[in-house]
């Protein structure tokens, strides 16, 4: 093929990737760069004016603020707890779907797992709020069965936030774990049992290590967005258990301090990136291709 043919193919390839590349640049890169630039601006308190320039004062201010540090720590801790609960509940479902459900019925099960996506995330959060209210389904059932004498307060607790987020992100955890389990060569499991291993030890030594790439992917998919979740802490927590996204909203919209809010956003992204990288490094041996 001549040089002209190669140039034509290159132009054709560029024409194919240009629209999604530009779309990604506008939707993802532009907002992030805007936040980054704003985080180095100055803000005149009382005037609402922005002074363009380069300053690290916003970053010094937020990391010197014990309230921000406490909220950041709470956000990471709650997100870690949500990730643990979600993956722990998702793994048995994915395992059952991969190893127990007949092949011809797996598509139906996957279809059922995606049903929560048919409704808005906001609607699902509102439904959990209704379920966990004083006169909600859970309290009414417990009181009706005589387990409780009077309704208990379930909303405005960390447990309620964790339960709501775990339900919302469960499909995101089930699907990557299911894909990893589906890739496991079943002959390896048969070989383990032929060598005298019990089903439990075969699972521990063969199935679980081979499924870890899916588990790690599920953990990251759940952990990263839940750190910055705004809706659930606001509606389920009633504003009493704010996370970093709620704190950023106050700075951005409530106080109109966009530079400080941008610095908080960038700091939160960096904190999540560091935690994610540490998690990947600790589990890097599971991500290696196994013969």
Q: Are 174 and 113 in contact (CB under 8 A)?
A: yes
CA gap 227, 245 in Å, rounded? 8
What is the per-residue pLDDT across 56-100, written as a single tens digit (0 to 9) for each?
Answer: 888 898 888 898 889 999 999 999 999 999 999 999 999 999 988
88-93-95 Cα angle (round to 5): 95
DSSP-derived secondary structure for 274-291: HHHHHHHHHTHHHHSPP-
What is the per-residue pLDDT across 181-218, written as a single tens digit (0 to 9) for each?
Answer: 998 888 877 777 777 777 788 888 888 888 888 898 89
Coil, helix or strand at residue 49:
strand
Kindly list the distances between the CA atom of residue 61 and the CA atoms of 39, 97, 264, in Å, as whole numbers in the listed order: 12, 50, 10
What is the per-residue pLDDT across 127-178, written as a single tens digit (0 to 9) for each?
Answer: 888 888 877 778 788 787 777 777 777 778 888 899 999 988 999 999 999 9
Q: Where are the domains of the chain?
A: 1-29, 65-290
Predicted pLDDT at 126: 86
Strand pairing class (49-51; 42-44): antiparallel
pTM score, whole prediction: 0.80
Q: Are 244 and 270 in contact (CB under 8 A)?
A: no
CA gap 11, 179 in Å, rounded? 36
Choose the most confident range, by mean pLDDT, from 7-11, 38-42, 194-198, 260-264: 260-264
Q: What confidence tier does 6 reach under pLDDT thresholds 50, 70, 90?
A: low
- CATH H superfamily, domain 65-290: MetI-like (1.10.3720.10)
């Amino acid at each position: 093929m001549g040089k002209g043919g190669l140039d034509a193919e290159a132009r054709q390839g560029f024409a194919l990737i240009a629209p999604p590349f530009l779309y990604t640049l506008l939707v993802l890169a532009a907002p992030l760069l805007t936040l980054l630039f704003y985080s180095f601006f100055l803000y005149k308190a009382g005037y609402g004016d922005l002074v363009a320039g380069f300053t690290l004062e916003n970053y010094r201010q937020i990391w010197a603020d014990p309230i921000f540090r406490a909220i950041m720590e709470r956000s990471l801790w709650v997100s870690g707890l949500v990730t643990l609960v979600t993956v722990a509940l998702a793994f048995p479902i994915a395992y059952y779907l991969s190893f127990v459900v007949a092949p011809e019925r797996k598509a139906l099960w996957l279809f059922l797992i995606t049903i929560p996506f048919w409704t808005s995330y906001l609607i699902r959060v509102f439904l959990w709020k209704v379920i966990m209210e004083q006169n909600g389904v859970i309290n009414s059932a417990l009181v009706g069965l005589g387990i409780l004498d009077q309704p208990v307060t379930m909303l405005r607790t960390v447990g309620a936030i964790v339960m709501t987020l775990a339900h919302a992100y469960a499909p995101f955890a089930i699907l990557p774990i299911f894909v990893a389990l589906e890739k496991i060569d079943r002959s390896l499991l048969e070989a383990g049992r032929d060598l005298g291993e019990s089903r439990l030890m075969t699972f521990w030594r063969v199935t679980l290590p081979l499924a870890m790439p899916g588990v790690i992917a599920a953990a990251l998919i759940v952990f990263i967005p839940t750190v910055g979740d705004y809706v659930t802490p606001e509606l389920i927590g009633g504003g009493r258990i704010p996370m970093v996204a709620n704190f950023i909203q106050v700075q951005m919209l409530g106080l109109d301090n966009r530079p400080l809010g941008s610095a908080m956003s960038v700091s939160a992204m960096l904190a999540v990136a560091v935690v994610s990288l540490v998690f990947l490094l600790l589990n890097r041996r599971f991500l290696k291709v196994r013969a």
